[in-house]
Amino acid sequence: MFWRALRDRMASFLDASSNATVRRLLSDQGAKHWKGYAFAFAMMGLIAATTSLSAWIIGKIVDKIFVAHKLAAVWEITAAIVAIYVVKGFATYGQQVSLSRIANSIVADVQTRIFDKMLRMKVSYYSRSHSSEFIARQAFIAQSASGVLNLLITTFSRDALTIVGLVIVMVSQDPLLSLLALMFVPIAAVGVRQIGQRVRKIMATEFQGAMQMMESLQETAQGVRIVKAFTLEDFMRQRQGAAIRGFQTAANKLASVSSRTSPIMESLGGFAIAAVVLYSGYTVILRGNQPGSLFSFITSVIMLYEPMKRVARFHVDLSSSLFGVSMLYDFLDAPEFEEDPPGADDLVVTAGRIEFRDVVFGYRPEERVLHSVSLVAEAGKTTALVGRSGGGKSTVMSLILRLYDVESGQILCDGVDIATVTRDSVRRQIGYVAQENFLFKGSVRDNIAMGRPGASDEEIVAAAKAAYAHDFIMDFERGYDTPCGEHGMQLSGGQRQRIAIARAFLKDAPIILLDEATSALDSESEQAIQKALQTLCEGRTTLVIAHRLSTVAQADEICVIDHGQIVERGRHRELLAKGHTYSLIARTQFPRDAA
């Protein structure tokens, strides 16, 4: 009932879009915490009641103590004042703690939902968005959701009830004077509403500026070696300076616009108090009215000022917070998330045979990458993909991992279309080693263990030995507890790659995808890794991409991909003998090995 009344009340304050956002937030988060909000509402009722009583009792102090000189009234009123403010203090404490706990719960829930949605989003979504956008969303949006609800509750309970209580005190003292004091309120409401509409537009500009600053900071931290190697310090400084100035301009504009409520409320408040003093002074001096009612009335007007000012700013503060809530629901409603077919089963790999049947795919509708590609990676054998850069080799692996879905055609694993089974079950069957392997923040042990969470230390060490990584790991002062740093920056490229291969060893999957897995290694390390990869790939279905001929020369079959099509297939010597595309690639791409 409370939420319905609050939603209905909102409709009169906001435009259709903002009202829809607030209604959804109340249904989404407000209903979850109705008990906490009910308690906070009760505490705010006590705060409003004690605030009104403190204004009312001023009149009794003046009339009974300073005018009537009643000694007994001193003790009675003193005790009443102590009781009023003790109750108000505990009620304020209860309200603040309750709302803070609810806000923390909402922030945690929103952050969890945002991160969960991030994990479910398609890879194509990330390719169009900068990573700083997700960081900004986590930091900004989560706070907005709790801020809107707290603002609604405090405005429409504590402040509204306080205003009602104080107005009752004012009317009980002098109805005509009350009308005189409150006649300026509609004027303030009209002016503040227009300010709120501008604030939301400025917030969008300010958020973009903040995101640009995060982009520059993040790219500088992650690409500091390139920044220094190419002496890009001045360029990055100018870029960040422009972003900071843009943010500063928007922030200053926001401060200027949102603060316009102060001169409006201060001026109108001054007129209201002046009118009260003028009229009430006239009635006390010329008509002989009790001074207690005058003091009680003036106290009520003065105490009414703060909650009235907060209510007046309500539309401004709500508009700025609603910008973040709108972004939250826009993201949560984004349709670009990975979704399995209804009732999809898990993929069960028996042999591991992979087949492409007339697969067509493009990252953009107007730009096709694969054109009716058909190939077979036989179970337990190694199939190499060779071709010029941009020909579609890595795309083939991305499609097997179901990072993208094909436009037409089928990808089969043991005769089962992988589009009809769950994505997780497909990916659990694949050990993947990329050209640029990503290492997470944590130790060497932590990164290897991500191949199979819960693996024992003995299994982790065995995987590292199989990847020829154990020796250099033990050369570190802290061994397997050595931190890798952000993106593995504390390790060399070859070390990062061998840890990634160890991770694939530990996963022990029946299908192996090697996307130029030895490209960052020197010749000596490559020989060691080739032996490790032979062990890893033995008895497993393996697809491998390489820029070194030695990596693919022993493959059971080589598929040459050129301009998104399979143009040749066969074994190494057969393809060299034909003298076609593969032979040309061998002479140009592997000149030393092909000699």
Q: What is the CA radius of gyration of the chain?
A: 35
Per-residue pLDDT at 290: 65
Q: What angle do CA 259, 264, 266 make, to 5 degrees?
A: 95
- On the question of pLDDT at 517 being above 90, the answer is no
**What is 354-594's CATH number, 3.40.50.300, 3.40.718.10, 3.30.1300.10, 3.40.50.170?**
3.40.50.300
Residues near 258 by beta carbon (within 8 Å), at least 6 away in sequence: 195, 199, 313, 316, 317, 320
* 476 neighbors 482 (Cβ within 8 angstroms): yes
Q: Is the pTM of this model over 0.85?
A: no
pLDDT tens readout for residues 185-214: 666 666 566 665 666 667 667 667 777 777
- Name the phi and psi angles at 458, rounded to 5: -65, -40
Per-residue pLDDT at 378: 92
Q: Confidence class of residue 595 from pLDDT cuts 50, 70 and 90?
A: very low
Per-residue pLDDT at 436: 72
**Residues 411, 418: Cα–Cα separation, whole Å:** 6
Residue type, 478: R
Q: How far is CA 338 from the centre of its chain?
A: 18
pLDDT tens readout for residues 46-69: 888 888 888 787 777 777 766 767
496 compared with 396, residue with greater pLDDT: 396
pLDDT tens readout for residues 406-428: 999 999 999 999 999 999 999 99
Q: How far is CA 356 from the centre of its chain?
A: 37
For residue 193, the number of C-alpha atoms closer than 13 Å in the C-beta half-sphere is: 10
| Neighbour order of strands in the sheet with 354-361 | 370-377, 354-361, 408-413, 416-417
Report helix, strand or coil for 90: helix
For residue 299, the number of C-alpha atoms closer than 13 Å in the C-beta half-sphere is: 21
In the chain, where does the domain assigned CATH 1.20.1560.10 lie? 2-332
Residue type, 404: Y
Q: What angle do CA 500, 506, 509 make, to 5 degrees?
A: 100
Percent of the chain with pLDDT over 70: 78
* 562 neighbors 387 (Cβ within 8 angstroms): yes
The third-level CATH classification (topology) of the domain covering 2-332 is ABC transporter transmembrane region fold (1.20.1560)
pLDDT tens readout for residues 220-240: 776 776 677 767 788 888 888
Instruction: Report the chain's terminal Cα–Cα distance, integer Å.
Output: 83
DSSP class of residue 580 equals S
In the chain, where does the domain assigned CATH 3.40.50.300 lie? 354-594
Residue 216: which of 134, 324, 131 has the closest Cα?
131
Torsion 468-471-472-476 (CA) sign: positive
pLDDT tens readout for residues 553-593: 778 899 989 888 898 999 888 888 888 888 887 777 655 44
Q: Which range in 78-82, 151-155, 340-344, 345-349 is most confidently predicted, on average pLDDT?
A: 345-349
* 551 neighbors 518 (Cβ within 8 angstroms): yes
In the numeric block, which tokens belong to residue 192? Answer: 């503040």
Q: How far is CA 194 from the centre of its chain?
A: 30
Q: What is the mean pLDDT of the chain?
A: 79
Q: Confidence class of residue 525 from pLDDT cuts 50, 70 and 90?
A: low
In the numeric block, which tokens belong to residue 538? Answer: 């033995």
DSSP class of residue 121 equals B
**Residues 117, 128: Cα–Cα separation, whole Å:** 16
Residues near 262 by beta carbon (within 8 Å), at least 6 away in sequence: none
